[in-house]
Structure 1
Amino acid sequence: MSSEQDGKPGKGNRGLVARLTLASVAMFGFGFALVPLYDVFCEVTGISSSSTTRAAAEPVALEVDYDRKVTVEFVATTNQRDIWRFTPEETRMRVHPGKLYTTHYLATNLDERDRMGHAVPDVSPAGATRYVQKVECFCFEEQLFAGEESQRMPVLFYVDPELPRNIGTVTLNYSFFAQDVVGEK
């Protein structure tokens, strides 16, 4: 009588069970490794991740490159047009790398209720992310807006002189999102 008929798994089935168990353990481990791997990938490629909302860059004594100018474009987006009006005060600036500049974004809560807003920054091209340093930015904290209130929010930044010379234009995009309505859940 064969072992399959006795109700005991055969040698082939034991191997299959072992391989399936090993595959399950490997997939489980890979799931845990995805977050740190994604963070490393984002850092290497310069793609925005949660690290782009890091704390303010410490102003350092940089040598201003007066022989070079870089165009910085400012973009504002929101997918909640019925709640927010959000625009950059200036759409572009020509800047010298190493010099500190200030610009502003304008946001209006179109709702009658108080709202919290949060901006998520993104820098393009991806290779320029590490060279655009924000010293002060409204994106570092959530912003409280009273009903129908407008705010002029500053961004104090510089472009690092180490920005590769083949990058002549950098785009700084902020996406603005509403958090929970204040006092409601």
Structure 2
Amino acid sequence: MVQLTRIYTRGGDAGKTSLGDGSRVPKTCPRVESYGTVDELNAIIGTVRLYTADNAEADAILSRIQNDLFDLGADLCTPEQEEPKYPPLRIAETQVTRLEREIDDMNAQLQPLKSFVLPGGAPAAAHLHLARTVARRAERAMVALAVDEPVSDAAMKYINRLSDHHFVMSRWLNIDHGGDVLWVPGQHR
């Protein structure tokens, strides 16, 4: 278990940070950008959960996702090594398949779309659209990282499914709040 006794270390004052393997890198490197964006996404999910306290199923799903996002951050902050000192925490395929199962379960309760969906509706749904866009930004950062360094297939699948999960969950949460907010092309010309 992690034990934090000091919050500041002064180790990053010169613009560098430590990765999970102990190596030091600039805070602007693609690996730090990737897990930093995942951390931002986790904070948004925390905000979404302020609005799901009365929906035990949604809140439990989002709680699992927050823990998964810490796993993803741990995965991304630890470069692959031939013989690591400690086995690194990596995203597992089971985490991806759980997201897929949840997407399918929620989607089965939804009407087919006849237009694009605008962010809105219930507060949790609107915030999930923000989470969806940050998940896509995290995915782009991970793809950029993967150009030069290995990123696990499971991690890439997870972040890709997660943005879909947020989209479907936002629609699912809007069922009891008037349904989807749909785009009307050219409505205000």
TM-score between both structures, scaled by the size of structure 1: 0.24
Report the structure, 1 or 2, having the larger helix content. Answer: 2
Report the structure, 1 or 2, having the larger strand content. Answer: 1
TM-score between both structures, scaled by the size of structure 2: 0.24
